Structure formats: structure tokens, C-alpha cells
Amino acid sequence: MNLPLLPSYISKENIGPWHIFLQQVEQVAPLLDKSLQPWVETLRRPKRSLIVDVPIRLDNGEIVHFEGYRVHHNTSRGPGKGGVRFHQDVTLSEVMALSGWMTIKNAVVNVPFGGAKGGIRVDPRLLSQSELERLTRRYTSEISSMIGPDKDIPAPDMNTNAQVMAWMMDTYSMGEGRTVTGVVTGKPLSLGGSLGRQDATGRGVFVTAREAASKMNLPIAGARVAIQGFGNVGEATARMFVQAGARVVAIQDVSGTVVNAAGLDLAALKRYQLENRTLSGAPDCELVANEDFWSVPCEFMVPAALESQINRFNADRITARIVVEGANGPTTPEADSILAERGIVVVPDVIANAGGVTVSYFEWVQDFSNFFWSEEEINARLERIMSDAFNAIWQMSQARSMPLRSAAFVIGCSRVLEARAIRGLYP
């Protein structure tokens, strides 16, 4: 019997996202201040994890059940913060790891949040809009005991968007008997959303890439860029690189890989993708095998899709001088070592893709104050926070001769554990 091939992101190399996060913690634990060592175990244990049954009635009347998750990894520095993803391969291990990375990420950019994450194991492409709404509302009601504007604030993630956040906000508000805009971020502007949120993650990826390139005397103008993922993050990142004079020479998404050494026409490619739901057959580019994406000649590579995409099977093929992690956990620890040995700089996810949660923080603050900022103010504040955070990581990396990921984790873990130690234990 011929079994279907596994998706490209599932393989024997995929050792599980939570295990990868634990490995990253283990690598930096000895580098932390001795006063924090008694508290390191805090990072290895999520504060609370919830698995919920999400039953809905389909449009045809059939009742089906989906599995949902919400995890609080750590709330020592403030309420939980992290997205909700709808994907057929979501697992508890993945959500735990994503919540852990959120803990570190929020601490690295020094916003007053802890780490949280959620998801539903579902292929949203198979559901109608009304079925998605019923799924979202039922999931929100099931996790309502864990979320709240001063408890845990969800946001969009893979396959979720402003509309999903509006349904979540409305469902939570119905239970409270009042409108609670601050329970989620990434909302539509008409419901208290923030200007600049749509491009925030991609903007942060570009800002950190620009800062790293500046440190390495690598000009962006004329540079070649390869991007995995052409959704919200990948498209915004690509657009900003092109605006700075770079050429995006390769893009890969779930439908395939397209290349053009002279530079892809991003606007035309996006229109084609929206109209055809695929990159295959797009004009003025060549469709190549997915594995060939990793060997495309480029100066910058941006993995902005799923976890464990760069691994021991492809890390030695990468030609880029800088890898900027637009996705969460796209590089395995083994691949990290291979890239380091080859002199390739990796800008880690916990700083590279922190633009989204930074502007989510701005949205949360604006909702509480009912005073909203201009897009220029938001972009300026975002660039300042991201640049300052990256520079602190770079300085520690240079001073202590460690990779940027280790430096970021030392900074993030130290801030989390300092808060945990000062708070003490109750009772």
C-alpha cells in the first residue's frame, strides 16, 4: 500500500519543539548568574497547561470534535502573552515550546508580559467561515478561565487573523457582560486594534536583519534574500527588504518554491497566490524542488514558516551569511552548531520576530488608556525597542564570545528568573 508522503516539516529530524526549547535552556543555564541557578527549573516546567475538547456543529448538521490547547509557561513578569494558531499538526509539545519562547521573547524586548500560547488541531482550509466562527467561539469559551486582559492576552498566529481575534473578544465580552477590548490583541482597528500591527512582525525581522548587517558591514542594497513562508510575516519582510534595495530571489511556501536570480516581483506574486492559492505556475519565475531552496545563493535567509525547518540535513547547504528567524524555532540545536562552524550568523527568533508582540503590547496599552497613537509613532517606537534589544544581545555576544541565541537567552532567562527570585514562593 502506498502511504502519502509526510509534510516537509515532519521528519525523523523533528525531535519535538518542547525538547528543542529544553535543549536551549540547558545550553545557557551554566552561563547564568549563580544567584539564579536555584530557579532554573522554573523554565523547564510550564506554569499550567490546558487541553480542551472543542465540539462544533458543521454546516451539514454533523457534530465534530477538535482538540485545543492553552499553555502558560511563565507569568513572573506579567500576564501571559502569546498567539493562537489553527493547524492540523498542532500538538501540546509545540504549544508548550511556543509558550516558552514567548517567555524569553517578551523578556528580551523587556515588555511586561510572561509567555503563553494556544492552538487548535484543525485544518482551517476545510472549514467554512461560519464553521471557523463557531470553532473560535467554542474554543474561547473553553479557555475563558485562563484568559483576561490582566491574566493572559491571546493574539493572531498561524492561520488566525483580526477576524478571529474579533470573535474571541466578543465571546469573552459576552461572558463578562461588558466589552473587554484588551483581552486580545491583533484586533480590527474598529474594535481597538492598533495601527502598524499587520506588518509588525515582518518589520521587526527586517530591523534586526538590518542591525546585524550593519555590524557585519554587509550592505542590504543589492543583497539577495531567500524567504521561506509567504504569509503575513514573510510577505512583509520581503517587501521591506525590497524597499531597502535588496532582491528577493527565492520564496517557498506550502505550495512550492519559486526563484528568480534577478529578483521576484512581489506584488505580482502575491496577486497570483491570492487568486490561485499556489505559487506554482506564477509568471516570471522558475519553480524548483523544495530541497533546492536551501542552496539558493543569497546573503540573507529568512525562515518564516514552521519549526525545525533548518536541520542537520540541509544546514550545510545554506549559502547565506545571515539567517534571520522569522518563525519560532525554525533551526534545530544541531543545525545551529553546523551554521556556527560555517561562520553563518543566526539572528534568533526570540529577538528577530519579536516585533509582533511588541506592537501587541502597544495595542494593549492603548486599549487600557483609550488613547491611540499614529502609525508613525508606533513604527518609531517599535524600531527603537527592537534596535536597542538587538544591540544589547550583540554586545553580550561579543563580550562573552557566544552565539546571538545564547546571548539572547542569557538576557531573557536572567530577567525572568530575577523576577521569580524577587517574588519568592507563596505560601
Give catalytic residue positions: 117
The cell numbers describing 149, all together, are 486582559
Note the residue count of the chain: 427
Residue whose cell numbers read 525545525: 308
Contact, 69 vs 51, CB < 8 A? yes
Dihedral (C-alpha) 186, 51, 170, 161: value to the nearest 10 degrees? 30
Q: Angle between the 355-369 and 375-400 helix axes, to the nearest 10 degrees?
A: 140
Of the candidates 358, 94, 309, 318, the residue with the CA atom closest to the CA atom of residue 202: 358
Distance CA 48, CA 65 (A): 23
**Cell numbers at residue 147, please?**
484568559
Measured in degrees and rounded to the nearest 5, phi and psi for residue 79 equal: -60, 155
Cross-strand bridge partners of residue 69: 51, 119
Extract the C-alpha cell encoding 193. 486594534
Residues 6+ apart with CB under 8 A from 126: none
Strands of 80-87's sheet in order across: 48-57, 63-74, 114-121, 80-87, 152-156
Separation CA 216–CA 142 (nearest Å):
49
Q: Where are the beta strands (DSSP E) in 132-223?
A: 152-156
Contact of 99 with 79, CB cutoff 8 Å: no
- Asked whether 266 and 243 are in contact (CB, 8 A), the reply is no
What is the DSSP code string of 249-264?
EEEEETTEEEE-TT--
- φ/ψ (deg, to 5) at 362: -60, -40
- Would you call 319 helix, strand, or coil by DSSP? coil
Q: Are 117 and 95 in contact (CB under 8 A)?
A: yes
Burial class of residue 345 (count of CB atoms within 10 Å of its CB; 0-12, 13-18, 19+): buried
Would you state the cell numbers that stand for residue 419, as one nine-digit string? 523576577
